[in-house]
Structure 1
Amino acid sequence: MPSPTPYVNIAAYKFITFSDTAEKRAEFRALCEELGLKGTILLSPEGINLFLAGLREPIDRFLAWLRSDAHFADIEVKESYSDRQPFTKMLVKLKREIITMKNPLIRPEEGRAPAVDPKTLKRWLDQGHDDSGRPVVMMDTRNAFEVDVGTFNNTVDYRIEKFSEFPEVVQRHKPDFDGKTVVTFCTGGIRCEKAAIHMQNVGYDSVYQLEGGILKYFEEVGGDHYTGDCFVFDYRTALNPKLEATETKQCFACRAVVTPREQLSPWYVPGESCPHCWKRDVSTVTDSGVESR
């Protein structure tokens, strides 16, 4: 379907052994600069993770080039649209992991955990159980500030600050899910590729990953059983279930999410400060009444 706005935003990842990352880095960077694309590409021995934006024709040329490599011939891409370029730079980075979990024994390339597609998940949530009659529990694998922008109704949220905290906390809470089916989810699906495998490894007997994450769910189902928006890592900050940018912003000083209501605060100065900065400063006041910064 043609885009009503000029910029095409793509997100994609693939777990696959990728040994020549250093050599490929220059190729990726040169092509993206030639095509006028901006965003971030992560290259790792375990695969690729990318977020790019550009005009339709350059994006299509990039994807044709990428899929000409046998490593990435079947890479799946999620698209959304915007009326301006959501990124300011073009970065190609080399990383140890494309999503940091600090558990090298988990290798999604060697076999994924079971996945549930968005339409099936909606049906499960509509009826209150999976096809085996087990209660369905949604588990958010994202960081706390992302969850605060929006998440599935009645989701389990462990308030993690970084993904490397997830393995320990989910292992500790395993008894809470006896007899239940757990569906893990994140923005685009990449975290759950590792999260669901880890949960199987520590003894969860019925765990699925949401195929394509929240963004794919929005694309195929809309906002049923979901409250709020979905945080994304570009200037749009959050997308609603129609995959449209919202008025939610992110503070460039403290990185907190700033709601439209919070933007009315005198403490909100775009690019400089927000009410969350002020709260953090207040929390540093010493017993003597002197602010420690």
Structure 2
Amino acid sequence: MNATVEQLAPVEQHAVSDWVVAALYQFKEVQNSADLQQRLLDLVKTINLCGTLIVADEGINGTVAGDRKSVDSIHQFLLNEGFTTMEYKESFSSEKPFRKMKIKHKKEIVTLGVEVKPRDLVGHYLDPKEWNDLIARDDVILVDTRNDYEYKAGTFKGAIDPKTESFRDFPEYVKQNLADHKNKKIAMFCTGGIRCEKSTSLLLQEGFEEVYHLKGGILKYLEETPAEESMWEGECFVFDGRTAVTHGMEEGENIKCHACGWPLLPEEVELPSYEHGVSCKYCIDKTTDQQKAGFRMRQSQIAAAKRKRL
């Protein structure tokens, strides 16, 4: 398997009153991942789904959304394919959270860039209650394994921001910042748990002694933990049209800058630096006037397409 193979499946354009959003992953040996990709494409052409699924020899990962029947159909398909221990979480969106349905064939279902064995070597799983007890201790190093823009929307109290722009940067962060702490308790977390499967495997492979991670990730924590018992601060960035969610998996207040992808609070949208689809306080000085003109043209085309659909 070499470069990413991505294929789009047509999404039926009929109304869905409340979109079911299913986030899922499982590390599992797949004998013929290209064939699985094709069979998934055949399935999603017959049902009403949008989102992205990534298929690789090491398993499956992704988030899809659709009506109840369609989400149940793909869930049952994957169960029949042997993905019986999937980390699987559902939430809801009042609007269509993805524009298209994509099925990608890649080398890794989440790209770390370093070979690890998450099915064989993984940290200690903790449920939300156990997690609260652990991270409240002062002898624990708490690391957010997500990217810088995700950290900005919200994180656990006291968590370290590695300031990574992609998950590929995480091994270098470990090398530069954690190598002298191999005898310490290291607790790590991510959105749905998949990145921590690989990051804990990486640390154990590098000789760290006590490595923990939050089972089911932040999404499971926010689903199960009452706000009054929570150690989470802010909102959790999600990779769909909702931008962020909060306790009870309710949609948050953050919106996404469609120029740079960073989450913005309502007060940041009111700043002069914000122009919808063109700039925000985090990117206004990072693009040229010519690029901004291109963004404005893109936004006008999107608006025109929306008016046409109406």
TM interval, shorter chain, is 0.7 to 0.9
Name the counterpart of 2:96.
Answer: 85
The answer to whether the Cα contact below 8 Å between 2:224 and 2:248 also exists between their aligned partners in 1 is no
Q: 1:268 aligns with which of 271, 274, 289?
A: 274
Unaligned runs of 5+ in 1: 283-293
Q: 2:221 aligns with which of 217, 222, 231?
A: 217
Range with greater deviation from structure 2 (234-243 or 164-173): 164-173
What does 1:37-56 correspond to in 2, within 5 Å?
37-56=49-68
Q: Does residue 63 of structure 2 align to residue 57 of structure 1?
A: no
The answer to whether the Cα contact below 8 Å between 2:117 and 2:198 also exists between their aligned partners in 1 is yes
Name the counterpart of 2:107.
Answer: 96
Q: Does residue 179 of structure 2 align to residue 168 of structure 1?
A: no
Shift of 1:110: 2.5
Range with greater deviation from structure 2 (10-19 or 21-30): 21-30
Name the counterpart of 1:118.
Answer: 128
One-letter amino acid matched to 2:171: P
Shift of 1:18: 1.2
In 1, Cα distance between the equivalents of 2:121 and 2:182? 24
- Report the TM-score, using the length of structure 1 for normalisation: 0.86
Shift of 1:119: 1.3
- Report the TM-score, using the length of structure 2 for normalisation: 0.82
Name the counterpart of 2:143.
Answer: 139
Q: Secondary structure at the match of 2:64?
A: strand
Q: 1:188 aligns with which of 192, 195, 213?
A: 192
Q: Percent of aligned pairs with the same residue?
A: 37
Q: Secondary structure at the match of 1:196?
A: helix
Shift of 1:180: 3.4
Shift of 1:201: 1.8
One-letter amino acid matched to 1:192: C
Q: Secondary structure at the match of 1:86?
A: coil
Q: 1:30 aligns with which of 11, 20, 42?
A: 42
Name the counterpart of 2:232.
Answer: 226
Aligned Cα RMSD in Å? Answer: 1.9
Moved over 6 A (4+): none
Shift of 1:237: 0.5
Shift of 1:107: 1.6
Range with greater deviation from structure 2 (228-237 or 265-274): 265-274
Shift of 1:275: 3.0
The answer to whether the Cα contact below 8 Å between 1:236 and 1:245 also exists between their aligned partners in 2 is yes
Shift of 1:84: 1.6
Shift of 1:175: 5.4
Unaligned runs of 5+ in 2: 1-16, 289-310
In 2, Cα distance between the equivalents of 1:25 and 1:17? 14
The answer to whether the Cα contact below 8 Å between 1:122 and 1:221 also exists between their aligned partners in 2 is no
Q: 2:286 aligns with which of 265, 268, 280?
A: 280
In 2, Cα distance between the equivalents of 1:175 and 1:93? 34
Q: Does residue 164 of structure 2 align to residue 154 of structure 1?
A: no
Shift of 1:141: 0.4
One-letter amino acid matched to 2:93: S
Q: Does residue 80 of structure 2 align to residue 76 of structure 1?
A: no
